Structure 1
Amino acid sequence: MSELKYEVVEHDGGWAYKVGGVFSETFPDHDTALGAARDAAERQGLAGETEGIAFQDEKGRWHEEVARGDDRPMTEIVDGSEPH
């Protein structure tokens, strides 16, 4: 089983979370970004159907693969920053 870290960071004049070096959209404040990271991490744990997925890596390249619906990653929220 893989593990995904959702790291809440300052980004582009606001706050975002990043996973594997890829940033989410920018949120206006820390608490909103933290809530979005928690929501995304929770949804990662939900079982689903086996299906094809596409994702972008930290270098901006797109990948396609088949994801088993019952092989969900473990997730962790990393919030080392304090809101300003």
Structure 2
Amino acid sequence: MSELHYRIVEHDGGWAYKVGDVFSETFADHDTAFAAAKDAAERQRLAGETRGISYETADGKWHEEVADGGDRPETEVDDVAPKG
């Protein structure tokens, strides 16, 4: 099972959460960003429906497979204390 870390970081004059290289929207304060990260992390763990999917790869080949709706990642919110 994969694991996702939501990191609370200072960003663009405020606070955001970051997953990998992707930032959330910017929040005015640390506590609001932390609450949004907790909410996003909880929703990421929710199971969905198992469905058939099809997709095209960069080389132009189409693939079909079944996506298991119960195969959800473990999530964690990594917090940093605000400076000051």
Does the pair score TM above 0.5?
Answer: yes
Flag structure 2 segments of 5+ consecutive residues without an equivalent: 54-65
- Identity percentage of aligned residues: 70
1:23-65 alpha-carbon deviations (Å, 9 max, x no partner): 000011100000000000000111111356xxxxxxxxxxxxx
Task: Find the aligned partners of 2:47 and 2:39 in 1 and give their Cα distance.
Answer: 15
- The aligned counterpart of 2:22 is 22
Instruction: Note the C-alpha offset of 1:67.
Output: 4.5
- The aligned counterpart of 1:79 is 79
Task: Find the aligned partners of 1:47 and 1:29 in 2 and give their Cα distance.
Answer: 30
Task: Find the aligned partners of 2:25 and 2:69 in 1 and give their Cα distance.
Answer: 26
Instruction: Please list every run of at least 4 consecutive aligned residues from structure 1 whose deviation after the TM superposition is greater than 6 angstroms.
Output: none
Flag structure 1 segments of 5+ consecutive residues without an equivalent: 53-65
TM-score if structure 2 supplies the norm length?
0.76
1:25/1:69 Cα in 2 relative to 1: closer, same or farther (>3 Å)? Answer: same
Q: How does 1:1-80 map to 2 (within 5 A)?
A: 1-50=1-50, 67-80=67-80
Count of matched residue pairs: 71
Based on CA coordinates, which of the two structures has the bigger radius of gyration? Answer: 2
- The CA RMSD measured in Å over matched residues stands at 1.8
Task: Find the aligned partners of 1:82 and 1:68 in 2 and give their Cα distance.
Answer: 39
